[in-house]
Structure 1
Amino acid sequence: MQRPSSIVRYEQLYLGSFILGLVASALSWQGRAAQLGANPALGNLQWIMPAALVVGIVISVTLWYFTARNPSIAAKWVVTVFAALSLLGVARNLYALASGTVPLFATLLAVLVSLLYVAAAVMLFKPDAKLWFGEEPTNGDIA
């Protein structure tokens, strides 16, 4: 089956969110490393940041593959749950931004990453995406 337009759009939004997320991580890396190093209990755990980044990349690429290239309903729902959780992060970031306790650019970038991710997840519920995932269309889904 040829990939439907909503899956192509999903892939564009998802990969855009992924790449901008990597940029955001790179921009905040030194600050997070300094926070980790400043905590005496966590000072010896500098390896955890690159390990977490690698795990995150593996999860993201796996979810991309099983949604955009080899459809899996389970992956679709994992992306959906992550998108819902990212909305909580948007609310937290906007609250922190309003209080003036966080850097403007990094926070706005994090919000953009989350909104792109949510927009991508919405594409997974379009009628042509339901066919991609092998879900039975209902009468309302047939255009």
Structure 2
Amino acid sequence: MAWVTANGPLVSAVRTAKQYLTYVSAGPFQYAIAEALRLPDSYFEEFRAGLRRKRDLLGDGLRAAGFKVYEPQGTYFITTDITPFGEKDAYAFCRALPERCGVVAIPNSVFYDDPDAGRSQVRFTFCKRDDVLDEAASRLQRLAS
């Protein structure tokens, strides 16, 4: 965990690097994790069921909007393929998506050694409130028209 104050280009470079570190826990969080591990199994069962329900909610909405959906088994991101929309460049698609639909996505190719391997794949997260997922799915239906 850290803070940075700098000129715009340097802050931008730090934020770019940080996106690859966001899911790494810092030392202070280890105490919170230890506490969480003391919770009853029912907590985690309910948590898992809730995420599965959200996954299915967003996945169904993405399919209805025309996306090819790869159903995840152990994350809170859904990977989709954008070729059903005649799109091939995930970067361009993701840059235009907020203006087109008011929704954001991440091009999967940023996670590949060979960016061409994930060129037509984008991911959406489903760890959101149900109303947010419903609204996103509704907005993404604009892509089909």
Q: Common fold, TM-score beyond 0.5?
A: no
Q: Please indicate the TM-score interval, normalised by the length of the shorter structure.
A: under 0.3
> When you count strand as a share of all residues, which structure comes out higher?
2
Relative to the length of structure 2, the TM-score reads 0.28
Higher RCO, Cα 8 Å, sep 6+: 1
**More helix as a share of residues:** 1
TM-score normalised to the size of structure 1? 0.28
